[in-house]
Amino acid sequence: MNALELKSINFSYEKEDFLKDFSLAIESGEFFGIIGPNGSGKTTILKIMAGLLKPRSGNVLILEKDINLISRNDMAKIIGFVPQENFFTFEFTVLDVVLWGRNPYLKRFENPKKTDFDKAIQALTLADIFPLKDKSINRISAGERQRVVLARALAQEPKILLLDEATSHLDITHQVEFLKILKRLNNAGMTIVFLSHDLNLASLVCSRILLLDNGQLVICDKPASVLKPELIEKVYKVKPYLQNHPETGSPQLILPV
């Protein structure tokens, strides 16, 4: 069963065609990566999957159902979206922010119930930030804030998790911890779509990687088939050196000096 499918998608920015007849299928339970240079269409595709952008034509299927037939409330129970940038105007606590993820399960003006608090605490624990629950969201680091937003998405109990540059504000210690969390979620059956500028991180965790260039699919395959120096040079205009990770055997790229 496909978790996500884009069929013949055409998308334009200000009447300028960007995605043309673009198709892609992601199976349930995949850990799927999207890479490509700035402006290649990574975030556009992710937002189309999340229903945040509407294509000019084509079909978006979520769990094999047309996205137009799914209510926004039901979408929030299926898809969790973790954006790259997160800004909070008011001094909400971390727990308050994570509780927002329970909104799809509440009636209008209904206060969170014990079940909702339990789910929020569970999400905080999964994201390894339970000790921060009473801190202000604006008084923690950018990396910690990113894990709060992950916890908020997990509180929605989604079947599919979409992440847009989710590790970009994390130091290497928290990158490793963050990826371990994602791997545990994926091993438990969650479909994960991981958009990243870090090609080596994508190679370590993803079962398949989509390489984009200017809105066009270059290749979609296993990391070993995608992270080839000649392909990377073609898209990024830099030819890296290639070696295999000593533990996993995954391809790892080294930039030239």
CATH number (domain holding residue 77): 3.40.50.300
Residue 161 phi/psi, 5° resolution? -120, 120
Q: In sequence order, what are the beta bridge partners of 211?
A: 35, 219
- Among 100, 142, 141, 105, smallest CA distance to 123 is for 100
- Among 240, 208, 153, 238, smallest CA distance to 27 is for 208
State which amino acid sits at residue 80.
G
Average pLDDT, the chain: 92
User: What's the rounded mean pLDDT across residues 132-140?
Assistant: 91
Helix or strand (DSSP H, E) at 233? helix 229-236
Q: Is 119 contained in some domain?
A: no
Surface-to-core class of residue 145, CB atoms within 10 Å of its CB (0-12 exposed, 13-18 middle, 19+ buried): buried
What pLDDT shows up at residue 93? 94
Q: Is the pLDDT of residue 85 over 80?
A: no
Query: Number of structural domains, the chain?
Result: 1
Q: Is 229 contained in some domain?
A: yes
Q: Is the pLDDT of residue 253 over 90?
A: yes
Q: Is the pLDDT of residue 74 over 90?
A: yes
Q: Is 132 contained in some domain?
A: no
What is the dihedral sign for C-alpha 163, 165, 169, 172? positive
243: containing domain: 2-85+158-254
Q: Is the pLDDT of residue 144 over 90?
A: no
Q: In sequence order, what are the beta bridge partners of 93?
A: 136
Q: Is the pLDDT of residue 15 over 80?
A: no
228-244 tens-digit pLDDT:
999 999 999 999 999 99
Q: Is 7 contained in some domain?
A: yes
User: What's the rounded mean pLDDT across residues 52-76?
Assistant: 95
What pLDDT shows up at residue 138? 87
Q: Is 125 contained in some domain?
A: no
Q: Is 136 contained in some domain?
A: no
What pLDDT shows up at residue 133? 94
What pLDDT shows up at residue 73? 92
